[in-house]
Amino acid sequence: MVYLHVPFCRSFCSYCDFYSEIACKERDVLLFEAYTEAVCAEAARRRDEIEATRDLDTFYIGGGTPSVLPLALLRHLVCSIGQPATPRAPTRGHAQFVEFTVEVNPEDIVEKGEEYVRGLLDLGVNRISMGVQSLDDGILRWMNRRHDAARARQAFRILRDAGARNISVDLIFGLSQLTEDIFSRTLDEVLAWRPEHISAYQLSIEEGSALGRLVREGRYTEAPQEQCAAQYALLCERLRAAGYVHYEISNWALPGREAVHNSAYWTRHPYVGLGPSAHSFDGTVRSWNSCHPPRSGAGGSEQLSAAEAREEEIFLGLRTARGVTEDLLPKEKAAGMLADGRLVRVEDRLRIPEGYWFVSDGIIAELL
């Protein structure tokens, strides 16, 4: 189970605080090549760690914006990271993974076209996650996204026409300027596309983002919680009616299309993170790389205590429809929440029902 961080973007979204650097086309070649060689060297150094996580053989390339990288360099990365110690026969292209996801930007897909998407599929990519966020041009401009609604529509068609059969679409809600009508029209259209997976996140104000600065300067007012709750309720209602399974607070999938890689994070499965700022977890120790491309490694680590591991298991598990085993929770508090409906029992596990997921942080905090 490997995550690769690609720390390059053409522009920064107003809400984003992930580590990334602007990739200017004038210096792309040298910057991307130096990054690729550094990651390949890191993968070679950490081969034993990578092999130790192959019981769940998934690969996720995120960012940043992975789709800014040319196919030749992606191929080099995949061959380096995906090469197992024990040879196996690929089903297509250079690597065989249970799930191989690449994040893409709609603008890159439109610019590079079907040939680029077919190239991704030939590498072994079998899941594509596209950041659409909204289909309202005014909101997209405010977010400083590179695409508009028309390009998002075009990008989705290109993915389908090129043969992509497992597409995840990202959306954002909880903006103060996002009206119910605008949000409903975005949902109408995205559901008509029928992607296999939808992730929808409430806008968060990150201190280091451009949006965080706007809030501090009094130039943006956060949406009231009542508005955010109403938009989340609309999401749940519309996606349920369309046949999507709500399997994690922010994630919905057509039956059988739940994200394998991301689901493993929520069960605390060990993983290896490669590239600048990437995090890793071996079951007891969490570590992270430095944020300085092309270098990786030389970050830090922390050993989780038994109490911290238990709290993490509760926090992550109660974000999912699967929930947690009853023995993890304080008996009296759990009993009270079962009585008032904030927890429900499903077979031998306890979970927070969907109607309370929007306030799940408070419920979890009370249990901890």
Supply φ then ψ for residue 21, to 5 degrees. -125, 145
Using one digit for the tens of pLDDT, what is the confidence trace for 269-326? 999 999 998 999 999 999 999 876 555 556 889 999 999 999 999 999 999 999 999 9
Range with lowest mean pLDDT among 216-225, 245-254, 298-307? 216-225
CA neighbor of 183 nearest in space, from 224, 233, 219: 233
Cα 57 to Cα 100: distance, rounded to the nearest angstrom = 9
Q: Please give the helix or strand (H or E) that residue 130 lies within, else none.
A: strand 127-133
pTM given for the model? 0.91
Give the pLDDT band (50/70/90) at residue 25. Answer: low
CA neighbor of 61 nearest in space, from 96, 20, 100, 118: 100
Q: Stretch 67-87: mean pLDDT, rounded?
A: 81
Q: Stretch 250-277: mean pLDDT, rounded?
A: 96
Supply φ then ψ for residue 315, to 5 degrees. -60, -50
Tokens 């596990």 belong to which residue? 349
CB 264 within 8 A of CB 281: no
Residues of the chain with CATH 3.80.30.20: 2-266
pLDDT in the model for residue 91: 41
* b/e sequence 75-104, b meaning 16+ C-beta within 10 Å: bbbbebbbeeeeeeeeeebebbbebbbbbb
How many other β-carbons are positioned within 10 Å of the β-carbon of residue 51? 13
Does a cis peptide bond (omega within 30 degrees of 0) precede residue 294? yes
Supply φ then ψ for residue 287, to 5 degrees. -135, 165
2-266: CATH architecture: Alpha-Beta Horseshoe (3.80)
To 10 degrees, what angle do helices 360-367 and 306-317 make? 150
- Conformation bin of residue 272: beta by default, left when phi > 0, alpha when psi is -120 to 50: beta
Sign of the torsion formed by the C-alpha atoms of 178, 181, 185 and 187: positive
For residue 174, the one-letter residue type is G
CB 69 within 8 A of CB 123: no
pLDDT in the model for residue 19: 62
Q: Stretch 121-135: mean pLDDT, rounded?
A: 96
pLDDT in the model for residue 220: 72
Q: Stretch 56-66: mean pLDDT, rounded?
A: 92
Using one digit for the tens of pLDDT, what is the confidence trace for 43-55? 999 999 999 998 8
How does DSSP classify residue 142? H
